[in-house]
Structures are given as structure tokens and as C-alpha cells.
Amino acid sequence: MGHPNVLYIFTDQQRVDTLRCYGNEQIETPALDGLADDGFVFENAYVSQPVCSPARATMLTGLWPHTAGVPACNVPLRAEVPTFAEMLPPEYQTAFMGKWHLGDEIFPQHGFETWVGSEDSYRRGYSEQERLDVLSPYHHFLVEQGFAPDAENLGQRVFSRHAEASMPEEYTKAAFLGDQAAEYIRQSGDTPFALCVSYLEPHPPHTGPLNEYYDPEILPTGPSFRQSPPDDAPLIVRLMAAFYSASENYGLDLQTEAGWRRLLARYWGNVTLVDRSVAKILQALDESGKADDTIVIFTSDHGELMGDHGILGKTLMYEESIKVPLLLRAPMLDAQPRRIGGQFSHIDLVPTLLDLLGLEAPDHLQGQSRVPVLCGRDDLVANDVFVEWSGADGHPPASIGEAEPNRSLVHPLRTIVAADGWKLNLYGKGQGELYDLNADPHELENLYHRPEYQARIGELRERIRVWQEETGDEVELPCFD
């Protein structure tokens, strides 16, 4: 057999409990459920940083955000930092479809030969003025279907995010990408391919054709839903909760439970919208006869709080923000599909993928292959995971609904979720949070200031220090005495 194909699918801002395989009995995600049944389900998968660009840098390069040079949103991935597509043998045909958010949004780069861009929102991040004359394939698709742009962006008429999300289902970004990816697979011939499909949904603007698909009144919520953080929570956490609980966002009153529930129903609707698109891609894989020769990975760049702790969005270190779905199917592997416990970090995605392809990982990668775990020769039981925040977000002041709290995210932060379930968030200004996820999985009680836990904090701080040393992370955190 020749080299396997790669189908690498990721969403934007999808929390872990939005799939049936993670315990959600009400949401409709049959395509992804089928993928879970045929593959590996990582029970605890963590991102490298809970915001788009840095997380994506890790997912594509195998480097921590601070190493990849993408510490914040809207920071381009430098040309000299290779993605996994640039690590593949020359016989691979490669394609990237959807949201990039790492610089020149709609132009082929970083080893991806075919490029089907979908976002015209990030034009301010383009490297050259001349590139502003070019609009995305999705823009041209909508124009060809008779729709008219409704906004202006740096001298060009474009479709606003809200207009795009308000399209009938067959014209949504998700449907467009599903059709494009399915056609690419059908046309791929006998040459091995590596295809990335990157969805915007269920990222804001939290609207779509399935807004009314779910009944807001019967959606499950957890103990932290609309619960304000305690007085000993870090200031930024309390600021964000106060901001959102007193606001109207996306046309809904978030001062009320009904408003939050309607928002949650819309969010679920966009997850189902993505699932329907993924179904088209997986069907093309089956019909082309290539499913048995294709590694499929599904994950998300970060999660979404969606009213838990009274907060909307990501950027904080709560589990809802840093923990995401991760499904992996590798039919050519001599291993039974199953759920994998312990903790997995996105830093290991690229080296694991290269190992599955039978390729040697470059020395500069900062993660490790977890193929031995897939094959049952190892496990993740003793694996600590680390998550970073580098003191700047990069969202512009016009960012929908998030500008005020995000401007407060100015201090670096490092988190360890230890293998034994203890979690420490260490802020550059000396604040902190300590949670025992075993006894308090919803992070309702911050133990950081309790005298009896100071030894535990010291031990976890030391693990963060060692990780910083090993990864070249020079961010200064409170003294490790």
C-alpha cells in the first residue's frame, strides 16, 4: 500500500460536550458519531491556547504558540515556520479549505497547493496592499448565486459575517466547504492527498439556518450555568462575567436565562450544520473507495463557555474553553477503535499524524507521537497537559461583543492540568486558581488561597517551570520559591 491520505477537519470554538460520543444525548451529530464509532475518541483533549490563531498554529505546526511566533490572534504564521503539509513527501497533493486566521487568509501558502478560502473578515492581516483586491472563493460563490454584499472592508464590498451566517442552509459557509471538500476527494485520483477543512462554525455570530432546530427550554445545562465567579476569582474572570451577564449580545438579552438558552440553541444548531457538511465529505470518501486508506482527524481550535460561569466566548482557562472534541480514525492501524482516557494535548497532533503516515518527525517538533497509545502499547494516564496565554489577544476594538473584556487580557497566564486531576492557573500578576477536577469538575471552588493547598500549588508551579524550561518559554510568572 502507498502513503495513506489525510483528512484533517477542525471547527472553531466547539466545546467538548456538543457530540453524542461525549455524553450529549440530545444533539444531532450522526456523521461525527459514526466517525467516533469507527475510530478513537480522546476523552480529554486540550488546546494549546484558548483563542483561534495561536491554537491553529499548534494544530498545524506541532509547536507551542510561543515557539511558532503566534502569541495572539491575528498574528501571521511566518513563512519559515513549516506546517505539516510542508513535511510531507512531494507525491502528496495538498489542500486547505476554510478559515486560516494565520495571515494571508485566502492565498495558497505553507505547503498547501489547493486553497479554497472562505473568510473576507481578516483582510487587515494581509501582507501586501495588492492582495486586498482579491476576495474569497466563498464570496464569489455567493455572488454567483445572486446574493449582494452588505458591508465594506478596506475598499471592497464584502459579505458580513452575519449575512453569511443568515444564508439558507445550502448557501452557508459550512455547506460550501462540504461540497468543495467532497469534490476534491472525488477528483483526487490515485495520488495521495492531505486535505484540511477548517470550519468557522460554531464560532460567532451565533446565528444560522438551524436557529430554531432545538428547543431552548429543554437543553441541558450544568451547575456553573449563569453562576457568577466567586469573589476570590481573578479580576479578569469577574470582569468578563459582569460584562456578559449585564449585556445584550447577538440580539439576545443575556440578563435572562431565556436569552442564554436561545443562544445555546443557536450554538447547537451550528454544530449540527457542521455535522451535515462533514457527512458529505465522509460520504465522498466512502464512495471514492478511499476511506480505508485515509486517516481522519476531527477536533476544534478551542471551546466556548456559552453561559457557564456567566461568560460567553473563550480565552479563559475553564474546562469549557480549553477542552475540545478529538476523534481519530486510522483504518490501516492494527488497533481496535476505542475510547482513550488520560489527557491528550494538541501539541502531539502533528507528530502523531506524521507517525501514522510512516514519516519521521522533524527534530524541531515539541510534541510526541501518540501512536503507541493508539496501538495499546502505552497510555496517557500519567500525562500532564499545559495551556498558555501570552498576554495579548489581538482582537480589534470592533470585535463583536468581546472587545471590552478582551482588552483586559493583558497579563500572561500558564496552566497545568495535571494527570491526577489537579489544575493550576498561574497568572503573571500573581493571581491564581487551583481546582480539584476530581471533586469539583465544574470549577466552582477556587482553592488557591487555602493554606492547606500551598504545597500542592508549589508542586504544580514547579512542573510549569520545568515545562517552560523545556519549551523555551520565557514568560515571567510569580517567583518559584
Burial 329-345 (b: 16+ CB within 10 A, else e): bbeebeeebeebebbbb
Find residue 109's DSSP bridge partners: none
Per-residue confidence (pLDDT) for residue 418, from 0 to 100 = 98
First-last CA distance in the chain: 56
Q: What is the pLDDT of residue 399?
A: 41
Which pLDDT does position 477 carry in this prediction?
Answer: 85
C-beta separation of 34 from 282 below 8 A = yes
Is 481's pLDDT higher than 50? no
Rounded Cα–Cα distance for residues 202 and 316 (Å): 18
Q: Cα–Cα distance between 254 and 413 in angstroms, integer?
A: 28
pLDDT band for position 397 (50/70/90)? Answer: very low
Q: What are the tens digits of pLDDT across the range 11-43? A: 999 999 999 999 999 999 999 999 999 999 999
What average pLDDT does the segment 440-462 reach?
96
Q: Which domains does the chain have, with CATH numbers?
A: 5-383 (3.40.720.10)
Percent of the chain topping pLDDT 90: 83
Q: Quote the pLDDT of residue 452.
A: 97
Model confidence pLDDT, tens digit, residues 112-171: 999 999 999 989 888 888 898 999 999 999 999 999 999 999 989 999 999 999 999 999
424 to 143, 340, 366, 456, 460: CA distances (angstroms) = 49, 23, 22, 9, 7
Which residue, chain included where needed, has cell 480514525? 329
More confidently predicted of 234 and 193? 193
Per-residue pLDDT at 1 exceeds 70: no
Mean pLDDT for all residues in the chain: 93
3-class DSSP string for the chain: CCCCEEEEEEECCCCHHHCHHHCCCCCCCHHHHHHHHHCEEECCEECCCCCHHHHHHHHHHCCCHHHHCCCCCCCCCCCCCCCHHHHCCCCCEEEEEECCCCCCCCCCCCCCCEEEECCCCCHHHCCCHHHHHCCCHHHHHHHHCCCCCCEEECCEEECCHHHHHCCCHHHCHHHHHHHHHHHHHHCCCCCCEEEEEECCCCCCCCCCCCCCCCCHHHCCCCCCECCCCCCCCCHHHHHHHHHHHCCEECCEECCCHHHHHHHHHHHHHHHHHHHHHHHHHHHHHHHCCCHHHEEEEEEECCCCCCCECCCCCCCCCCHHHHEECEEEECCCCCCCCCEECCCEEHHHHHHHHHHHCCCCCCCCCCCCCCHHHHCCCCCCCCCCEEEEEECCCCCCCCCCCCHHHHHCCCCEEEEEECCCCEEEEEECCCCEEEEECCCCCCCCCCCCCCHHHHHHHHHHHHHHHHHHHHHCCCCCCCCCC
Would you say residue 398 has pLDDT above 80? no
Query: What is the reported pLDDT for 239?
Result: 85
pLDDT tens-digit readout, 207-218: 999 999 999 999
Residue linked to cell 495520488: 191
Can you give the pLDDT at residue 53? 94
Give me the pLDDT at residue 125, please: 86
